[in-house]
Amino acid sequence: MRPIVKVRGLTKEFRVLGHRRGLVGAARNLFSNEARTVRAVDNISFDIKPGEFVGYVGPNGAGKSTTVKSLVGILRPTSGELSVLGRDPQRHRTENAFQMGVVFGQRTQLWWDLPVVESFSLLSRVYRIAPDAFRQRFEDLSGRLDLESFLDVPVRKLSLGQRMRCEIAAAVLHSPELLFLDEPTIGLDVLAKKEVRDFLQQVNAETGTTVVLTSHDLDDIERLCSRVIVIDHGQILHDGTVESLRRIFGHRRILSLQIDPSSSEKEEAVIDLPSGVTMLERSPEKMRLEFDPARTSAPELLQLVMAKAPVTDLHVSDRDIEEVVREIYSREAGPKEER
């Protein structure tokens, strides 16, 4: 199958200028040679096949949004070849726009001051959707994403969860073949997250829409993506299935504990930790432990700690993507030096 996205040696460098103030400063900024060059994306290549659901992950500043912006055609690469939907994304931005949907998490694609329903009817004109087809499509989308209750509310007055559902509905209104989602679940509560995920899964499964998702949320990636590309410092560290990613970093969790500092008789009681458990943080009132649930269970670990310290509160969480990526990065860096 011909790839729907093709990236070959994509590199993007930014010139970072010393910012000068005022009119003269602004004018000098235009011509300044005192620029530092930062390479945000460094010679990356990958293909995406039609129908894939790809997670594109990495810490902040890793080069995620630079890649996505290049793929949608609003950023010109410094070098490398791009083909999206069979075209050069920048030169054919308008043509691609008809077949592409984009959600930029924090930035709205809708008309801020217009009621939701008006934004959608405007979009139907922008994307040249026939009135009948639009009515049917919009009814379907607002049913699935539960938009009915706030269709007359201006976009700026929506809650984050409501707005995100609208953004996603707006991005798929014209039934795009390719959908880019930048942090679509950031800041959402559990219920809204589930709704968004379920919908995206449907879109991908039912219409074969290719989805590229960037997220900080490992849960998003695990539940949705068939493939994960991990990027850091502008380079691809991992490209494969979610399972293969998990094999690399294992499944580790973090136990955070609040400790009552006043009642501790002796300071910093010594706790014998089983092997495979790492103390990430330790202070008189707080403790963070990383463990592998396959080897040590959370209650077991908790019992060990409670025998020595008065625990007042606890929280178990998955490691976030930043920590995982940091680990992969340090592993990658190791063998390279040996070679």
Partner 1 sequence: MGERDAIKPASNASASGRDRHSLELGDRLGHRLDVFGRLVSASVREQMVYRRSFLLEVVGRMLITGLELVAVFFLFQHVNAIGGWTRWEVVYLYGTASSSLGIAELLTSGLKEMPELVRSGRFDGLLLRPVPALLQVLGRHIKLFYLGRTIQGIGALVLALVNLDVTWTTASAAFVLIGLVSGILVFAALFVGAAAQCFWTVESTEMFNAFTYGGVEMAQYPINIYRPWIRTLFLFVIPVGFVSYYPALAVLGKPDVLGFPAFFPWLAPFVAAMFAGVGYGFWRIGVRHYESTGS
Query: Could you give the C-alpha distances from 206 to 132, 192, 195, 202, 209, in angstroms and in order?
Result: 21, 21, 16, 6, 8
Give the whole-angstrom CA distance, residue 104 versus residue 331. 31
Nearer to partner 1, 126 or 333 (CB): 126
Quick check: 90 binds partner 1 (CB under 8 A)? yes
Report, in Å, the least distance between residue 207 CB and partner 1.
Answer: 8
Among 38, 74, 205, 306, binds partner 1 (CB under 8 A): 74
Q: Look-up: residue for tokens 């959370």?
A: 298
Return the biggest CA–CA distance within the chain: 75
Measured in whole angstroms, the distance separating CA 134 from the mean position of its chain's CA atoms is 30
Helix (H, G, I), strand (E, B) or coil at 110: coil
168 binding partner 1? (CB under 8 A): no
Applying CB under 8 A, does 21 fall inside the site for partner 1? Answer: yes
For β-strands 210-214 and 178-182, DSSP reports them as parallel
- Rounded distance, CA 301 to CA 315, Å? 13
Sign of the Cα torsion 83, 86, 87, 90 reads negative
The least CB distance from residue 69 to partner 1, in Å, is 6
For position 169 contacting partner 1 by CB under 8 A, the verdict is: no
104 alpha carbon, distance to own chain's centre: 10
Q: How far is the CB of 152 from partner 1 (least distance, A)?
A: 13
322 binds partner 1 (CB under 8 A): no
Single residue of 9, 18, 26, 140 touching partner 1 by CB under 8 A: 26
Q: Is 64 in the site for partner 1 (CB under 8 A)?
A: no
Closer by beta carbon to partner 1, 52 or else 239: 52
Q: Which is nearer to partner 1, 44 or 259 (CB)?
A: 44
CA neighbor of 254 nearest in space, from 204, 301, 207: 301
Q: What amino acid is encoded at 231 in this protein?
A: I
From candidates 10, 71, 102, 181, binder to partner 1 by CB under 8 A: 102
Choose between 182 and 220: whose C-beta lies nearer to partner 1: 182
* Piece of 172-180, 187-195, 216-224, 328-336 that binds partner 1 (CB under 8 A): 172-180
Q: Which of 11, 32, 159, 175 binds partner 1 (CB under 8 A)?
A: 175
The terminus-to-terminus CA distance of the chain in angstroms comes to 36
Q: How far is the CB of 15 from partner 1 (least distance, A)?
A: 8
43 Cβ contact list (under 8 Å, min separation 6):
9, 10, 11, 80, 235
CB contact at 8 A, 234 and 201 = no
Q: Interface with partner 1 includes 66 (CB under 8 A)?
A: yes
Check residue 131 for interaction with partner 1 (CB under 8 A).
no
> Of 154 and 310, which has the nearer Cβ to partner 1?
154
Task: Judge whether 232 and 330 are in contact, CB under 8 Å.
Answer: no
| 228 dihedral zone (left: phi>0; alpha: psi -120 to 50; beta) | beta
Q: Which of residues 179-218 bind partner 1 (CB under 8 A)?
A: 208
Should residue 35 be labelled a site residue for partner 1 when binding is judged by CB under 8 A? Answer: no
Does the protein bind partner 1 through residue 33 (CB under 8 A)? no
Report the residue from 118, 292, 318, 332 that binds partner 1 according to the rule CB under 8 A.
118
**42 sits near partner 1 (criterion: CB under 8 A):** no
Residues that bind partner 1 (CB under 8 A): 14-15, 21-23, 26, 29-30, 50, 66, 69, 72-76, 85, 90, 93-95, 97-100, 102, 104, 106-109, 111-114, 118, 122, 125-128, 175-177, 208
